Structure 1
Amino acid sequence: MSGTFTRLDRRKIRVAARGAEERRLHRRLPLHLQGRYLDSRGQEQKCRLIDISPGGAKVATRNPPMPGDFVVLLVDGLGRLDGRVLRKGDNWFSLQFAAHARKRDRLADAITWRFNMERLGLSEDRAAPRKSSQGRAVIHFNDGVKIDADVVDVSISGAAFAAIERPRIGEEVRVGEMRGHVARVWEGGFAVSFMPPSSSSASAA
């Protein structure tokens, strides 16, 4: 399907789904991924993410480090993240990442992708280069019709899809657990604006 679209088409698709991209950079999202961290003494400890944003994370662990400690966090699906501990509880700690703007932008893409994979029923496209915004999805319409589409871009509030079939603007659709309406349509694709999920409460990073 990838050969069907020109570079301009792909650019239009990406632009169409960027409406909430800046907001996601400052939002904590629940993301329960397993991992481990190296404490200030170089000892490895098991942990699990509670929530995360490109600026920091809250982490569950049996042996939380002390505020001010610098730790290296290794999270399945997100890779290496390091930063300084801000607060701690009996079985958790929060840290602020030490990362430059480009790395934070890449992390925002990875967080968004992981957050949306399960709730949108997305599967990664193993045949394509690994990018945070590639995969396959099934789009369900109210009349019972469903179509397969390539995920070109995804954010917390919407996604863009490449597909031969194109719905009407305003038409309601379902993707995985998420419902929304078609916000834009163009040759080779369309963008969906999601209704906010009731269970996802985000807080500032």
Structure 2
Amino acid sequence: MTITAQKAPDLASGLGSEQRADERIKLRLEGKLFVPAEEITLDCLIVDLSAGGAGIYCAEPPPLNTFVVLYVNGFGRFEGVATRYIKGELGLRFVCKDAKRKRLQEDLDSYVKEGLLGITRLRRFQRSSPRAPIDHFTRTNGSVVPCELIDISLQGVSLRTKVHPPIGEIIEVGATKGWVIRHFDDCIGVQFLQRPIPGAASDVR
């Protein structure tokens, strides 16, 4: 769900100049909020986004200062910390390197001009066929599900499987956790919650 992107007015007059440097873009995008400490995934609505953070709405927001991982539809995955909660809106401050902040700013510029299509054109994580075999994944309830690895990148993986866990469920692929973000006819798309562990694919037995 999207609406025309707009630049949001600066409401952070009480913040330092460094915190105000990232211009917020007003939008409406669906997303997922993962809380590692509780291993729960929440549906959320992103209402503003910048290279430094986001404003979101979710049914059960985590406490302030909680470390979270935000998945924004079309933009990707961002680690951050809950910093404020005002009138139902949870504010997140992203914790990421300058290179990723720069990429996000470029994506936001493209979104303002062309919508999500512009971001698709800027996709940077080249996917490749895996070298090491992965033939199953593990669900939250501990069940092991046979699968076939279609492709993999630093961001995520596509798995061919007859079982489609619900969107948002956390699964383990090798030694790496990820959440299910897409369903296709005979496969699922998984977004990693952390960078894949070297050799994780070959560790799968």
| TM-score, structure 2 as length reference | 0.46
Task: Tell me which structure has the larger Cα radius of gyration.
Answer: 1
Higher relative contact order (CA 8 A, sep 6+): 1
